[in-house]
Amino acid sequence: MQSQGPIFVGLPHLGPILFWLFTRYSVTDWCKGLRTLSWCPPYKTVLLVWTTIYSLMGRCYICFCSTGWW
């Protein structure tokens, strides 16, 4: 189970990374010009929170599998 740990933590990041690689040049800066609400967090904060959530999802799956429920 130890060798599967990095796979389960890294696998949730694979989809967003591949999406970014394919769309980074086709999406222009149009989203920077959009009006945002006053309570919306900065982009970097959202990025940090989602990265943390995806990493924790992988870690929780490791814990779930190691208990023998799976």
DSSP string, 6-70: HHHHHHHHHHHHHHHHHHTTTS-GGGGGS---TTPPPHHHHHHHHHHHHHHHHHHHHHHHHTT--
Asked whether residue 55 is domain-assigned, the answer is yes
Asked whether residue 36 is domain-assigned, the answer is no
Asked whether residue 33 is domain-assigned, the answer is no
Model pLDDT for residues 17-69, shown as the tens digit of each residue:
888 788 777 766 766 677 778 888 887 888 788 888 877 887 777 777 777 66
What does the pLDDT read at residue 31? 67
Structural domain for 15, as ranges: 2-27+42-66
Domain count across the chain: 1
Question: Of the candidates 47, 38, 43, which has an alpha carbon nearest to the alpha carbon of residue 16?
Answer: 47
In whole angstroms, give the CA distance from residue 42 to residue 57: 23
Residue 8 has pLDDT above 80, yes or no: no
Question: Of the candidates 8, 4, 3, 1, which has an alpha carbon nearest to the alpha carbon of residue 54?
Answer: 8
Asked whether residue 10 is domain-assigned, the answer is yes
Asked whether residue 20 is domain-assigned, the answer is yes
Asked whether residue 34 is domain-assigned, the answer is no
Asked whether residue 58 is domain-assigned, the answer is yes
